[in-house]
Amino acid sequence: MLTDEDFWRLVAMLGGRPELQDDRPYERLTAVLSEEPVERIVGFAETLAFKLYHLDRRALAQAVPPGADHLSDDGFLYARCAVVVAGPTAFDAVLADPAAFARFTTVEAAHADSILDVPSNAYQKATGREWEHVEEYDYETGSNEQWW
C-alpha cells in the first residue's frame, strides 16, 4: 500500500470533483502512474481498495438519493468512489458523519467509478500486459463484515 500522503497526492490529480463527466483527469493519473514502478501501481490499487472497503458500511449504504428507495450495490460502490475522488477531507467527513454521504449518491457522482480503472490501465500502459492483480481488500458491497 501507499502512504496516505502519497495516495491522496495522486488522487488530488483528479481535481476533487467526482461529479465531473470528464475522463481527462483519470487519463492524467493513469499516465503518471504508468511512469512509476509497477510496485507503486499495485500500491495505488491496494490503497484504493482499502479506502473503498473502509467505506463499505451499512449506515452509508442506507443513504438514498432523492426519489429513490435504495442504492443498488453498484450505485453504492460508485458513491464510495466519489467520496475517494473528492479527497481526504470528504473521506474523513463521511466516516465521522454518515449523513455527509448523501451528497455522493447522485447520478452526477457515478462517473467517479473511473478511478477503478486507473491501476489496471496504468499497468497495461507500463507493461503491455493485462492486469491480473487481485487486491487484498474486497470492496464489493457487504464485504466489510465488521460494519454490516
pLDDT tens by residue, 35-56? 999 999 999 999 999 999 999 9
- Identify the pLDDT of residue 18: 82
Please check the confidence at residue 125 and state whether its pLDDT lies above 70: yes
> Among the residues of the chain, which ranges form H helices?
4-11, 24-34, 38-54, 58-61, 73-86, 88-96, 118-127
- Identify the pLDDT of residue 82: 95
- Identify the pLDDT of residue 69: 65
Q: How many CB atoms lie within 10 A of CB 98?
A: 15
pLDDT grade for 63, boundaries at 50, 70 and 90: confident
Question: What is the grid cell recorded at 6?
Answer: 502519497
- Identify the pLDDT of residue 90: 97
Task: List the end-to-end C-alpha distance of the chain, in Å, as a whole number.
Answer: 25
Q: In the predicted model, what is the mean pLDDT of the chain?
A: 92
The amino acid at 85:
V
- Identify the pLDDT of residue 62: 86
CB 99 within 8 Å of CB 64:
no
CB 52 within 8 Å of CB 61:
no
Q: Is 3 helix (H, G, I), strand (E, B) or coil?
A: coil
Higher pLDDT, 40 or 111: 40
Give the least confident one: 4-18, 63-77, 78-92. 63-77
The amino acid at 51:
K
Q: What is the pTM of this model?
A: 0.93
The amino acid at 121:
N
Higher pLDDT, 148 or 121: 121
